[in-house]
A and B are shown apart, each in its own frame.
Chain A
Amino acid sequence: MNQETPILEVDRISKNFGGLPAVHNLSFTVMPAQLKGLIGPNGAGKTTCINLITGALSLTSGEVRFEGKRITGLPLHKTARLSISRTFQLLRIFQEMTVLENVMAGCHRWANLGTLQAAIRLPGARAKEREIMEVARSEIDFIGLTSRAHALAGALPVGEQRLLEIARALAGKPRLLLLDEPAAGLNDAERARLGALLRELTGRGLSILLIEHNMDLVMSISDEIVVLNYGEKLAEGRASEVRNLQTVISAYLGDASDA
């Protein structure tokens, strides 16, 4: 992939909920292997923005392009098929499945195992199942849930459920990962470890869009940061630049202490 072409282009997107703009005329890009932070006060439209990119919500206007191709209007499972993975602020793990099964389900995007092929073990199905198992195992190891692999997902503490959701998203071998507050519910040590893992992922070429309330984390690991307020872009730039902008401080950083 050409380094100059953004992997994700958000082009003047807007979303109204009953006439109220949740996101207004927002544009930004994510470059290959870039970690972009998306911050803003509560209700600024961050989660809405991820929902618009992934097709979980439909746009009122504007366009989203992934690897140069227009993906506006594609539903969630189709954007996922294009290798965009995401996590959710309000967790959406499969509670009655084990950690390992959750992550194995995450392999669906590339596994392409048909129902009948899988059920009656047609040629190739066994090898594919083994591959799914191996990928799931390695993502669980990577995220640090190895000892929990056979626990029911619903029985994990919230912090580990967040990590599980990330492992499940990674199992799809995405090229773009959208994380919605992955550090909520993690303690300091876990948060620091998550930051290092995310940097390791970008080091391997993965592009990440990170919504995060914890300012220390987002400022320390993001290549660039977009600041949202009332659904509009307030600022964009490197952490050091954004941090000192007066508009950002007054709109947002004043609230950072309770984040």
Chain B
Amino acid sequence: MCHAKGHHQGIGKVKRSHLIGALIGIVFVGTIPLFIRDEYTLGFLVLAGIVSLVVTGLNMLVGHAGQLSLGHGGFYAIGAYVSTLLTIKFGFTPLPALIIAAIVTGLVALVLGIPLLKMLTQFHLAVATLIFVMLINALLIVGGPWTGGFTGIQGQPPFSVGPILFEGDVANYYLVWGVVFLGILFAAGLSNSQAGRILRAIQGDETGAQSLGIDVAWEKVKVFVLSAIYASVAGTLLAHYTGSVTPAQFGVGPSLEFMVMVFLGGKGSVIGGVVGGSFIKLLPQVTEFMKNYRLLVDGLILTSVLLFVPQGIVGLFRKIWDRRSGGQSPAEETSLNGDGGHPPVASEPVGGQP
């Protein structure tokens, strides 16, 4: 009997606590501009949203398929520069520019991903993607009038959809966080479906996954392309929000930082990208004095997270929540509906591979 009950709670239905959590999150994020009026702070929240979008996409690759990319700054750059060129030099409006940039980025990721993901282990992939972002950065610097060199390109029009113009911080805040919401929705759908299960199977054991008929290399390529498209859309939004792009925004540093954000927020958690992205983006605003030590702080945070909270901030909170609510039942309910690949089981050490 109780077995059958568990069955019906299974697929497609979202656990109530997750729904409540999502509603609180939406109301919280949605009402912030009503309370925070100063543009400086709001501007950082827009940037936090843009970065969160990149990290949410990257987390599908890292957290589900178990592949490391240190080069997502490259895809972020393609999204920003392609839409910049299309709008400034070719007279496109921002929405088609965003779509074309996303397609271009997807194709680049496909061409890059097919050889890399078929041949390389995750660590070699990390190095190869690092080289990719360095290459993109070098191209941006030597690109002459096309990329504007070190100083980049300025004067992108604000984002618009038909007659609706997203000008200023409040409008961009809602635009960016609306897109982040869609990004999370897609990632959650992926995570809770057979597609997510296949990716986690690949992370679990590649040969085991192959024995089930899973084309491991191709599945990795697909999620690599998807995560690149997230970065591209974020790059486009950035360009049209700030009205300025420079190579330094898309180099090795930001790429590494995205990875830090994935682990900090919670590898494999659907909201981990937002938590990690927002945390690192907003931390320096809280502790202004640390600005010059940004890399040092990031390094310290990442090291501490890996050592003490391998499941990231989301994982930490989930663990605390499970302790409080006690018992085994959460594991039973969240196994299919949980927003991550790691259903909490109180007796199981997190992140431990026996």
Q: List residues of A (87-124) whose CB comes within 8 Å of B's CBs.
A: 88, 92-98, 100-102, 104-109, 111, 113-115, 118-121
Report if A245 contacts B (CB, 8 A).
Answer: no
Report if A80 contacts B (CB, 8 A).
Answer: yes
CB contact between A130 and one of B3, B11, B186, B207 (< 8 Å): that residue: B11
Closest to B329 in A: A150
Q: List residues of A (105-161) whose CB comes within 8 Å of B's CBs.
A: 105-109, 111, 113-115, 118-121, 125-126, 128-130, 132-133, 137, 146, 149-152, 154-155
Report if A71 contacts B (CB, 8 A).
Answer: no
Report if A192 contacts B (CB, 8 A).
Answer: no
Given contacts A119-B193, A126-B12, A150-B332, 20 further A-B contacts (CB under 8 A): A56-B207, A75-B210, A77-B210, A86-B211, A92-B207, A92-B211, A97-B200, A101-B335, A105-B200, A108-B194, A108-B213, A111-B194, A113-B193, A115-B195, A115-B219, A118-B194, A118-B195, A125-B193, A129-B194, A154-B348
The 9 closest A-B pairs by CB, nearest first: A94-B204, A92-B208, A118-B193, A80-B213, A119-B190, A109-B213, A118-B195, A76-B210, A105-B201
A105 touching B210 by the CB < 8 A rule? Answer: no
Measured between beta carbons, the chain A residues less than 8 angstroms from B354 are: 95, 154
Closest to B223 in A: A115
Measured between beta carbons, the chain B residues less than 8 angstroms from A104 are: 194, 197
Measured between beta carbons, the chain B residues less than 8 angstroms from A111 are: 194
Q: Chain A residues in contact with chain B, CB under 8 A?
A: 54, 56, 75-78, 80-81, 85-86, 88, 92-98, 100-102, 104-109, 111, 113-115, 118-121, 125-126, 128-130, 132-133, 137, 146, 149-152, 154-155, 168-169, 172
Measured between beta carbons, the chain A residues less than 8 angstroms from B342 are: 96
A-B contacts counted at CB < 8 A amount to 153
CB distance from A99 to the nearest CB of B (A): 9
CB contact between B194 and one of A132, A137, A150 (< 8 Å): that residue: A132
Closest to B197 in A: A105
Known: A105-B209, A129-B11. A97 touches B194 (CB 8 A): no
| Complex Cα spacing A77 to B217, Å | 10
CB distance from A241 to the nearest CB of B (A): 33
Measured between beta carbons, the chain B residues less than 8 angstroms from A114 are: 195
| Complex Cα spacing A154 to B200, Å | 14
